[in-house]
Amino acid sequence: MRTRTKKQNEVTVLITGASQGIGAAIAKVFAKEIRGVKLALVARNEKNLRAVARACTKLGAKAEVFLADVANAASVELLAVAVNERFGAVDVLINNAGVFEAAPFAETTIDQFDRVVAANLRSAFLVTQAFLPAMQKQKRGDVFFMSSIAGLSAYPNGAAYCAAKFGVNGLAKVLRAEAKGRGVRVCCVYPGATWSPSWEKSGVPAERIMPAEDVARAFLDVYRLSRRTVVEEIVLRPEQGDV
């Protein structure tokens, strides 16, 4: 696999699930705040992803679209090759991809359970495994895992989603334990209700839901800390309480 040689001070950020919601907001805040940042935007929805890339380009970033199913091992392998050839090693990896499906425990189908766990948990494992070696080689990098308050406290009708997000917490903790003192920082983020297209028909007032831009800002602020400091976990909740 041919890897592009990076210039000094060049920062490459890879974001999965970047076509909408928090992923798109993270892309835009990094584009706006980090001069000359290179963004590898990953998702399956090409139309939405290209719109996000255009917005990031207008903000001063170099943004490229990478279509991939991050729950599929072969697709992630191809993704890694493409990103390495285009941008070189990834400096900041943001595992944001995921889906939410609600159903009572007894009514959750095997297919539904597998689909939710794959999108939220398997994807984070596959993508991190693909891009971690380069970070370890250069002894520098940041890996973010997108969990949820559903990964801290279980609730009814969330068997698949809660199981997946509790699993994400475990992945993050293991990687953090292995990465201590080796230059790779690991942060697990637990947001509460955050505005995305899935909330549009929920009937929940917008003021009860956090804006995606606020959650995105947390990722940027954690990344900007001195390399001597790591934020292992961060919990974000709506000011009025959980929805």
**Res 6: pLDDT:** 59
| 42 in Cβ contact with 79 (< 8 Å) | yes
Q: Please state which of the ranges 2-6, 88-92, 157-161 shows the lowest mean pLDDT.
A: 2-6
pTM of the full predicted structure? 0.94
Which CATH number is 12-236's, of 3.40.50.720, 3.40.50.10190, 3.40.50.2300, 3.10.560.10? 3.40.50.720
239, burial (CB in 10 Å: exposed 0-12, middle 13-18, buried 19+): exposed
Chain segment 2-57, per-residue pLDDT in tens: 555 556 578 999 999 999 999 999 999 999 999 999 999 999 999 999 999 999 99
Pairing outcome for strands 184-191 and 141-146: parallel
- State the average pLDDT over residues 65-91: 98
Indicate the domain borders of the chain.
Answer: 12-236
